[in-house]
Amino acid sequence: MTSHETSPSRVLVIYTGGTIGSVQDASGGLVPIDFNEIHRHVPELEQPNREIEIISFDPPLDSSNVSTKEWVELAQAVKHHYADFDGFVILHGTDTLAYTASALSFMLEGLRKPVIITGSQLPIGLPRTDGRENLLAAVDIATAQRFNEPIVQEVAVYFGSFLFRGNRSHKASAESMQAIISPNLPALAEAGVDILYNESLMYRDEIKTFHVNVALDNQVAWLPLFPGQPLEVIKRLLDWPDMRGLVLSTFGSGNAPSNPDLKSILTAAHDRGISILNVTQCGHGAVHPERYATAHLLRDCGVIPGGDMTTEAAITKLMACLGRGLTGEEARNFMARNVRGELTGFSPLT
Ligand code: ASP
Distance of alpha carbon 82 from its chain centroid, rounded? Answer: 20
Decide: residue 283, CB within 10 A, 0-12 exposed, 13-18 middle, 19+ buried: exposed
Mean pLDDT calculated for residue range 321-328 = 96
Mean pLDDT calculated for residue range 70-86 = 98
> Would you place residue 28 in the very low, low, confident or very high pLDDT band (cuts 50, 70, 90)?
confident
Indicate the top mutation candidate among 25, 64, 117 to test ligand 1's pocket, ranked by most ligand atoms within 8 A of CB.
64
Instruction: Tell me the CA–centroid distance for residue 146 and ligand 1, in Å.
Output: 33
Confidence check: pLDDT of 295 > 90: no
**Mean pLDDT (the chain, rounded):** 93
Instruction: Tell me the CA–centroid distance for residue 99 and ligand 1, in Å.
Output: 13
Q: Strand, coil or helix: what is 42?
A: coil
52: left (phi over 0), alpha (psi -120 to 50) or beta: beta
**Residues noted as catalytic:** 19
Q: What is the pLDDT of residue 38?
A: 72
Alpha-carbon distance of 196 to 141, in angstroms, equals: 10
Confidence check: pLDDT of 1 > 50: no
Indicate the top mutation candidate among 31, 63, 118, 120 to test ligand 1's pocket, ranked by most ligand atoms within 8 A of CB.
63
Task: Report residues whose beta carbon is within 6 angstroms of any ligand 1 atom.
Answer: 17-19, 62-64, 93-95, 119, 121
The CA–CA distances, whole Å, from 225 to 120, 203, 251, 334 equal 32, 33, 7, 24
Mean pLDDT calculated for residue range 237-257 = 97
- Considering only CA atoms, which of 295, 241, 301 is closest in space to residue 276? 301
The CA–CA distances, whole Å, from 285 to 212, 278, 313, 326 equal 30, 13, 14, 27
Instruction: Tell me the CA–centroid distance for residue 133 and ligand 1, in Å.
Output: 17
Q: What is the pLDDT of residue 3?
A: 47
pLDDT digits (tens, 9 = 90+) for 203-231: 999 998 999 999 999 999 999 999 999 99
Q: Please provide the distance, in angstroms rounded to a whole number, between the alpha carbons at the two ends of the chain.
A: 61
Q: Strand, coil or helix: what is 113?
A: coil
Delineate the domains of the chain, giving CATH numbers in brackets. 9-212 (3.40.50.1170), 220-336 (3.40.50.40)
Confidence check: pLDDT of 97 > 50: yes
Confidence check: pLDDT of 190 > 90: yes
* Cβ(152)–Cβ(108) below 8 Å: no
Q: What is the pLDDT of residue 347?
A: 53
> Would you place residue 5 in the very low, low, confident or very high pLDDT band (cuts 50, 70, 90)?
low
Residues, the chain, total? Answer: 350
Q: What is the pLDDT of residue 348?
A: 52
Q: What is the pTM of this model?
A: 0.95
